[in-house]
Chains A and B, each alone.
Chain A
């Protein structure tokens, strides 16, 4: 039995989640009917516009009243709605839970909650969700899931995930999108503490997906007793790094972390992608209804 305690969503909170929808710039043609306005006009229910009739158009869409008034054959256009393909890449490397115990898994738990919430929102709006947890390679991919009845399956899957290994986002992107997938929204949830982050994001650019990068951080990663010479051991690679204590070293480390985050934010902004910083210290509601809404969500209904 999966432990769903990490996803202790209140009913009221879930009701608020159901009023949200994922934002995307475009919904490509094809796929199933959904709630996202497609980038092209088609055979929906909402009237959008007229255009002159040309040979080959469906005569059922001719507006005969307009013909009587203007003596011109005009065709009625309707907005088309489709579903959105959502790919959630969840970082499950060792750095997400560097120490045993619940206090050491704060980043991973936060990342799973974010993934669960996004999955809930996507399935509630009839989007198709693919969950791809990764570390050194992609673990078993779940999905695509469609329909709100798949929520519990997704939560079970997320609850059973564990951490381990190194982070290789570049290898993950190659494996997930190697066979070609429908264009949609790719959401990367990670602490981004890897040298492969930039390379992995660069691989997403030619695939023409919408991308949202959610960086989960824990201030404990920037705390260390540095009153003497210390050998830092990387939880993922096991590499050691010897440093000499300095009075303002941790302060400079915080500035370096901020600079690293700003670099990735600038890279995403330049590409029209969303970047969200998700510190674990913030409450999940605050994160989901505040920060997430600014870059990734909107009130849909």
Chain B
């Protein structure tokens, strides 16, 4: 039946009802004064009642909206066990989704937010092993903030508090086996998104099996690609002087590339292997380093931490490895360090090559290693401060960029809330900077446009020491004449030697560790038995993360609304 037929019938019906409506009888009266007064009084009463109802209704609506939107905890039933959320802290959770998408841990947080939003009213939540129950608003705020609190835990077997049910967010790769009460309902939420990756799975020296003259290194690279195509890999191996090997590889997915490298011709010191792969989503396994224990003069990685746990009042010992101790002695950095009575500075000269005389032996034990215009091939196993490192060398979370000409800029962005910048003002400071790539695990404390001026690396406890890199020349910066420099160095000395909060946690995540050379590394970002995340679940990850208003804010809004209604009511105004 066409649409217009019922429409026309309805219109005719309405017209008929209107036409057959009885007309009003006309009645002459002496005067309508009293009638008009009566109707006006009725209208006043009706208006007053209407406004009163409007006021009550508006107040009730505002209050209910406030309660509903904020999920005020005092209205929520407290009964029942909480819902536990457990997040896999393994490094593969840092792998980013293809095409520059979010990381797996961010995907896990998004999935957790969906679960929290869909949970029953009044539900409480626990996160990982923390037994403190959180309201939905609190856990949503936690999941909307920085996710380091979820991923910077090394416990792969957390004891999950007693819960109604447990949601485990994992990619199924790391050895993550949360301990759950028997009988507890468990839901495993997969955040596995297969992606292309190539990684160094083994890089170690071994005794020379075939040659008696020198050692050799075993290098293994494993590639994976869910699309099944060949994975192009560019391999570079460098010693402390120059790149010794550069090679283009085409690896089949699952193919293990193995190479024996003769280290006899390499310069003494650290040896670094690096691979670059287009579309690689996991940078953590693209670098590896080793120290030829059989070669002489490998000093840069020989430092050992003197006191990792110490009282703040103790004097910190800083060893400065300078390219030129003479030039460092008169530099702004030296003056700033000398001005700090809480540090004891010893300066040594860095080794610059095989023909260069080695620095003094043995090196003094220290709390902080400071590198002035130089950097070791392998980071030292102690907190490090890099001052104006060479552009071509990776140091303190900054790697060389392809195009890295120096340019004069002004610092336009700082993380003023970071403890390193307490009492330090760097904004608008003119600096001369080279382009460098910032390690995603590190933080840019000060930036000038797209270039990082100061970078701080704070790895997970027991997985490496902290480091700070000042990537510009202090002696050619106005900062040398300002008290901010001394404050920055004092902050740096305190922050670098700050004892780790959870030093008892193990760092063994099952993946490669550049410092602790493991016998068997693995690149396993796709090596999971879990089902991948459906593609439709990835479509709305960019949706803005709505944080609920606090119930106080909404209550205030309701109060203001009610006040406005009251004012309009008593003033006889209308909205």
**B293 located at the interface, meaning its Cβ lies under 8 Å from any Cβ of chain A in the complex:** no
Task: Give Cα distance in the complex from A107 to B41, angstroms.
Answer: 27
Are A252 and B38 in contact, with the CB atoms below 8 A? yes
Please, how many angstroms separate the alpha-carbon atoms of A99 and B41 in the complex?
Answer: 28
Secondary structure dominating the interface of B: mixed
A243 to B27, CA, bound (A): 11
Binary flags per residue of A167-195, CB closer than 8 Å to B gives 1, else 0: 00000000000000000000000010111
Tell whether B36 is near chain A: CB-to-CB under 8 Å: yes
A260 touches B31 (CB 8 A): no
Query: B30, A235: Cβ atoms under 8 Å?
Result: yes
B206-227 Cβ-contact flags toward A at 8 Å (1 or 0) = 0000000000000000000000
Q: How far is the CB of A70 from chain B (nearest CB, A)?
A: 66
Interface segment among A16-24, A54-62, A140-148, A221-229: the answer is A221-229
Q: Does B33 contact A (CB under 8 A)?
A: yes
Contact with B along A238-252 (1 / 0, CB 8 A): 011111000001001
From known contacts A98-B30, A221-B30, infer whether A253 and B35 are also in contact, taking CB-CB under 8 Å: yes
User: By the criterion CB–CB under 8 Å, are B38 and A232 in contact?
Assistant: no
Docked-complex contact B34 and A224, CB < 8 angstroms: no
B13-30 vs A, CB cutoff 8 Å, 1 = contact: the mask equals 000000000111111111
In the complex, what residue of chain B is closest to A250 when comparing beta carbons?
B38
Asked whether any CB of chain A lies closer than 8 Å to the CB of B11, the reply is no
Q: B285 to nearest A CB, angstroms? A: 85
Contact B30 A256 (CB under 8 A): no
CB pair A233–B34 under 8 Å, yes or no, is: no
* Interface mask (A251-275 → B, CB under 8 Å = 1, otherwise 0): 0110011011000000000000000
* Complex CA–CA separation, A259 to B24 (angstroms): 28
Given contacts A241-B39, A243-B39, contact A232 B29 (CB under 8 A): yes
B27: contacting residue among A95, A224, A252, CB under 8 A:
A224
- In residues 25-75 of chain B, which contact A (Cβ within 8 Å)? 25-39, 41
User: Which residues on B sit within 8 Å (CB–CB) of A228?
Assistant: 22, 24-25
Closest chain A CB from B277 CB (angstroms)? 84
- B36 to chain A: which residues have CB within 8 Å? 241
Contact in complex: A225, B27 (CB < 8 Å)? yes
In the complex, the answer to whether A193 meets B34 with C-beta atoms within 8 Å is yes
Q: In whole angstroms, how far apart are the Cα atoms of A249 and B35 in the complex? A: 10
Please, how many angstroms separate the alpha-carbon atoms of A229 and B24 in the complex?
5
Q: Which residue of B lies closest to A246 (CB)?
A: B42
* B37 engages A235 (CB within 8 Å): no
Other-chain residue from A96, A222, A235, A242 in contact with B28 (beta carbon distance below 8 A)? A235
B33 with A193: CB separation less than 8 A: yes
Query: In the complex, how many angstroms separate the beta carbon of A163 from the nearest chain B beta carbon?
Result: 11
Task: State whether the Cβ of A63 lies closer than 8 Å to any Cβ in chain B.
Answer: no
Report B277-303 residues with CB < 8 Å from chain A CB: none
CA distance A201 to B266 in the complex (A): 120
**Residues on B with beta carbons closer than 8 Å to the beta carbon of A233:** 26-29
Which of A229, A232, A233 gathers the greatest number of chain B CB atoms within 10 Å?
A: A232
A204 to chain B, nearest CB (A): 20
Query: What string of 1s and 0s marks CB contacts (under 8 Å) between A85-101 and chain B?
Result: 00000000011101100
A253 touches B31 (CB 8 A): no
Q: Is A236 an interface residue (CB 8 A)?
A: yes
Indicate with 1 or 0, residue by residue over A183-220, a CB within 8 angstroms of chain B CB atoms: 00000000101110000000000000000000000100
Q: In the bound complex, what is the Cα–Cα distance between A221 and B32 (angstroms)?
A: 10
Interface residues of A in 128-144 (CB under 8 A from B): none
Chain B residues in 8 Å Cβ range of A107: 30
Question: In the docked arrangement, what's the CA distance between A234 and B32, Å?
Answer: 5
Known: A224-B29, A235-B29. A256 touches B24 (CB 8 A): no
CB proximity to B under 8 Å, residues A99-115: 99, 107
Contact in complex: B28, A98 (CB < 8 Å): yes
Q: How far is the CA of A194 from the CA of B37 in the complex (A)?
A: 11
**Does A43 interact with chain B (Cβ within 8 Å)?**
no
Q: Is the CB of B33 within 8 A of A194?
A: yes
| A234 and B27 within 8 A (CB) | no
Residues of chain A with a CB closer than 8 A to B34's CB:
193, 221-222, 253, 256-257, 260
Check B37–A256 contact: CB distance below 8 A: yes
Chain B residues with Cβ under 8 A from A95's Cβ? 30-31
Q: A229-B22, A242-B24 are in contact. Are A236 and B37 (CB under 8 A)?
A: no
Alpha-carbon separation in the docked complex, A24 to B243 (Å): 128
Is A39's CB within 8 Å of the partner chain B?
no
CA distance A234 to B28 in the complex (A): 6
- Chain A residue nearest to B21 (CB atoms) is A229
Give the chain A neighbours of B23 by CB distance below 8 A. Answer: 229
Task: Determine the distance from Cα of A298 to Cα of B28 in the docked complex, in whole angstroms.
Answer: 40
Complex interface residues of chain B between 351 and 389 (CB less than 8 A to chain A): none
Check if A232 sits within 8 Å of B35, measured CB to CB. Answer: yes
B-side contacts of A259, CB under 8 Å: 37
- Chain B residues lying within 8 Å of A252, measured Cβ to Cβ, are 38
The answer to whether A256 and B32 have CB atoms under 8 Å apart is no
Contacts of A195 in B (CB 8 A): 33
Q: A221-B30, A235-B30, A256-B41 in contact; A241/B35 too (CB < 8 A)?
A: yes
Give min CB distance, B31 to chain A, whole Å: 4
How far does the Cβ of A60 sit from chain B's closest Cβ, in whole Å?
A: 60
The answer to whether A235 touches B31, judged by C-beta atoms less than 8 angstroms apart, is yes
* A260 CB → nearest B CB, Å: 6
Chain B residues with CB under 8 A of A224: 27, 29
On chain B, the residues within 8 Å of A221 by CB distance are 29-31, 34
- The answer to whether residues A232 and B32 also contact, given A224-B27, A242-B24, A253-B38 and a CB cut-off of 8 A, is yes
Least CB distance from A257 to B in Å reads 5
Q: How distant is the Cα of A96 from the Cα of B31 in the complex, in angstroms?
A: 9
Give Cα distance in the complex from A221 to B41, angstroms.
19
- A234 cross-chain contacts in B, Cβ below 8 A: 29, 31-32
Q: Which residues of B contact A194 (CB under 8 A)?
A: 31, 33
Report how far A96 CA is from B33 CA in the complex, Å. Answer: 14
CA distance A274 to B293 in the complex (A): 125
Bound form: Cα–Cα A242–B36 in Å: 10
Best-surrounded residue of B26, B30, B32, B34 (most CB of chain A within 10 A): B30
Cα A239 to Cα B35 with chains together (Å)? 12
Which of B29, B31, B32, B38 has the largest number of chain A CB atoms within 10 A? B31
15 A–B pairs (Cβ distance < 8 Å), ordered by A? A95-B30, A107-B30, A221-B30, A230-B26, A231-B24, A231-B26, A232-B29, A232-B32, A233-B27, A235-B30, A239-B32, A241-B36, A243-B35, A253-B34, A260-B34
**Which 10 A-B pairs give the minimum distances between C-beta atoms?**
A193-B31, A229-B24, A98-B30, A95-B30, A234-B32, A256-B38, A95-B31, A231-B24, A233-B28, A221-B30
Please list the residues of chain A having a beta carbon within 8 angstroms of any beta carbon in chain B: 94-96, 98-99, 107, 191, 193-195, 218, 221-222, 224-225, 228-237, 239-243, 249, 252-253, 256-257, 259-260
Which residues does B use to contact A, with CB under 8 Å? 22-39, 41
Known: A98-B28, A260-B33; 18 extra A-B contacts, CB below 8 A, are A95-B30, A95-B31, A98-B30, A193-B30, A193-B33, A222-B34, A228-B22, A229-B22, A230-B27, A232-B27, A233-B28, A236-B30, A240-B26, A241-B36, A242-B24, A253-B35, A256-B37, A256-B38
